[in-house]
Amino acid sequence: MYRLTRYFLLFFAIGLLTQCKSDTDTPGLVTPASQTELLVANTWRVDRVTDTGGKAINTAQLGLETAALLFLDFQFTNANIVRAIDRTTKQIRNAGDWTLTADNTAINVKVTGFNGVFKLVELTKNSLILQQEGVQVNGVKQAANLVFVPSI
């Protein structure tokens, strides 16, 4: 019986040790490569615009440039090309370049009439949230979140 108890404790200890993970095994760690993979995996559409606290902003309160984004789909490619596609006609309305910033916390978009560095608030398989500075809301410029979902 003593020998059986020792074997049990030995296997239990081995099981515990093999289940431990180091800090480098973090499954949620997002690398630049995985960020790019997530970004190019979908064509994205702006679902809503929110304030930085997450409260939805009524479309009627938005400036024309931001409101126009609600009618476009955005396609990011591995070749660092971004396309704005009219959701109804499926024609490309605008195109340009995109890159991740050096610290991978923002996306630099260079498209005619839509240039800027957008803070990367969230990027998952089903959600992309970019923070834009200087969004017109009721005639006042403020930071706002562009909440994207995959376009179907």
Q: What is the pLDDT of residues 61-71, one digit of tens each?
A: 999 989 999 99
Per-residue CA distances from 78 to 39, 58, 119 (Å): 9, 34, 20
Domain residue ranges in the chain? 42-150
pLDDT at residue 16, rounded to an integer:
39
Q: For domain 42-150, give the fold.
A: Lipocalin (2.40.128)
Q: What is the dihedral of CA 122, 147, 128, 73, to 10 degrees?
A: -170
6-41: pLDDT as tens digits:
444 434 444 434 444 444 444 444 565 788 999 999
The partner residues of 74 in beta bridges, in order of sequence, read: 44, 84
79-128: pLDDT as tens digits:
999 999 999 999 999 999 999 998 999 999 998 767 889 999 999 999 99
